Structure 1
Amino acid sequence: MENSALHALRLSVSNLNHPLNTPVSTLVFACGLPASHLMVIGEAPGAEEEKKGEPFVGRSGQLLEKLLNKSGTSRTGQGAQGHYITNAVNWRPPNNRPPTKTEIELCNPYLFKHIELINPKAILLVGATAAKAVLKKTAPMATLRAENPHQIKLLNGVTVPTFITYHPAYLLRNPAATTLFLEDLATMKSYIK
């Protein structure tokens, strides 16, 4: 359930003058309970997410949910047992291409406001695009993971430990990397208690 500030943010995002916000596009804002200690940020919605209006519901999302559940959090949980999910960009890019730098930059002020409103104890960035959007980092994934936890300082002065890991779509193509993803979750878990 959204509080009034999240609802106002959703309305602002839905009215954003953005190249992907067209009359035929669907806003994919977020899911989960705002009282969750963990905020998960992905790249952008895919076809399934656009159909349902909810992030991470396709094959990648099902794997992500399974792995997060295995670590003890769920979309319906609160506090340390919950996770709240959104994307760096709230509309699906054509042909499921990665969002452009401009598309990400237009959404960034709203994404950071979203983070402030959720006020998570930790953030999990899944994939290179999310890492670039939130931390402005573009190193190889192995390097980014080795530097976990990263820190972001929000405008309200709060510093949030931030972890970068593989996108679940990558895990579907490279199942051996699932072990590394689970290691990242285990490391992050101590921050959301």
Structure 2
Amino acid sequence: MALQLDERQRAMLLEMGVRVWLPGTAFAVMADNDPAPVAPTRAAVASPVARAPQPAPVVPKAPAAAPEAVPVQPSDLAALDWNGLADTAAACTACGLCAGRKFGTLQPAAQTQADWMVVGDPPEEEEDAAAQAFTGAPGQLLDNMLQAVGASRTGSGPQGAYATNVVKCRPPHGRNPAPADLAECAQFLQREVELVRPKVIFAVGRFAIQTLLSEHGALATQPLGKLRGMVYRYRGIPVVVSYHPKLLLRNSADKAKAWADLCLAMDSITPS
């Protein structure tokens, strides 16, 4: 039986380099300068429609350069007031933590002096977005703890409490701050202490404790269970260590221990 091909089918086969001979016909003659036919692929035979042009490969952009590290000198902070200190912290590029910062959490104190100062671990996402230390449920628990000893973050003097983070920027990708990061930001903490003039510092969280107990050498790296129940010193100011409120929310059994730590801190305050 003769193969039945119409003109369109013959033209398509010829385009693909397939020459068909039928009785009474001659092979199509290719010119000498025509390119040699290419064997069709299975996909080409199945779908002879011309393939759409492929887009040019996308060259990935080089990652944005990290901000140049500009160390902060203690002399640069010594004369700053609250507003100047907060502005400097918000623009600081002294360490790599600034890469994860939306807003710095160092904010001017609501009072000129507070007997209580609470120092916590690096800010988490909620604190970073609010530009404030101790927000959300942990912040509410801290406020309740302070109220139990007659202090608040809106009070002043013996009834006043100032709360801050040991570093002022949220670490990028939630990583832990490196010792160099803690050392750079410790200068801001030192100036905060000078402005608040607290009678006691309540340190909650591993990195806050390490920084505030750095004067005590290797003792600062001991587990919290071995550090509790003692009064330490940071630049002559009593320091009491305890659990971070976010940990107390996960393990309410430790709240009794935290209450004992608060009582120890309260007893360490020297009356004016």
Question: TM-score w.r.t. structure 2 length?
Answer: 0.63
Q: One-letter code of the match for 1:178?
A: K
Does residue 237 of structure 2 align to residue 152 of structure 1? no
Residues 59 and 11 (structure 1), Cα distance of their counterparts in 2 relative to 1, 3 Å cut = same
> Contact 2:103 / 2:128 at 8 angstroms: preserved in 1?
yes
2:166·2:208 contact (CA, 8 Å) conserved in 1? yes
Identify the structure with bigger relative contact order (alpha carbons < 8 Å, sequence gap 6+).
Answer: 1
Asked if 2 retains the 8 angstrom alpha-carbon contact of 1:32 and 1:82, the reply is no
Q: Pairwise mapping of residues 76-91 of structure 1 onto structure 2 (< 5 A)?
A: 76-91=154-169
The residue identity in structure 2 corresponding to 1:27 is G
1:162 matched residue in structure 2: 239
Alignment RMSD: 1.8
Q: CA deviation at 1:66?
A: 1.4
Structure 1: 5+ residue stretches without partners: 154-158
Give 1:24 deviation, angstroms.
Answer: 5.7
Q: Quickly say closer, same or farther: Cα 1:47–1:187, change in 2 above 3 A.
A: same
Of the three residues 167, 176, 186, the one matched with 2:263 is 186
Matching residue's letter, 1:101: P
Q: CA deviation at 1:23?
A: 8.5
Q: Please state how far the C-alpha of 1:166 moved relative to its aligned partner.
A: 0.7
Indicate the SS of the match to 1:67.
helix
Task: Please identify the structure whose Cα radius of gyration is greater.
Answer: 2
What's the counterpart of residue 43 of structure 1? 121
Structure 1 residues 53 and 70, CA gap change in structure 2 (3 angstroms):
same
Size of the aligned set, in residue pairs, is 184
Once residues 232 and 245 of structure 2 are traced to their aligned partners in structure 1, the CA distance between those partners, rounded to angstroms, is 20
Give the CA deviation at 1:95: 4.0
- Once the two structures are TM-superposed, the CA of residue 88 in structure 1 deviates from its matched residue by 0.8
Instruction: Measure, in 1, the Cα distance between the counterparts of 2:264 and 2:176.
Output: 28
Q: Which residue of 2 aligns with 1:60?
A: 138
**Identity of aligned pairs, percent?**
32
Q: 2:210 corresponds to which residue?
A: 132
Give the 4+ runs in structure 1 shifted more than 6 A.
Answer: none
Q: d(CA) in 1 for partners of 2:268 and 2:157?
A: 12
Match of 1:14 in 2: 90
Task: Name the residue aligned to 1:156.
Answer: none
Matching residue's letter, 1:161: P
Q: Distance in 2 between the 1:32 and 1:142 partners?
A: 33
Structure 1 residues 34 and 97: alpha-carbon distance in aligned structure 2, compared to 1, 3 A threshold: farther
Task: After superposition, give the CA deviation of every residue in 1:58-89 in whole Å (9 maximum; x if it has no partner).
Answer: 22222111111122111111111110011111
Q: Is the 8 A contact 2:133 2:163 kept in 1?
A: yes
Contact conserved, 1:44 with 1:87, CA < 8 A, in 2?
Answer: yes
Q: Matches of 2:241 and 2:111 in 1, distance apart?
A: 22
Q: Residue by residue, what CA displacement relative to the aligned partner does 1:138-193 show, whole Å, maximum 9, x if unpaired? A: 101111113x210122xxxxx10111111111111211100010111111113345
Separation in 1, partners of 2:175, 2:101: 17
- Structure-1-length-normalised TM-score: 0.87
Between Structure 1 and Structure 2, which shows a larger proportion of strand residues?
A: 1
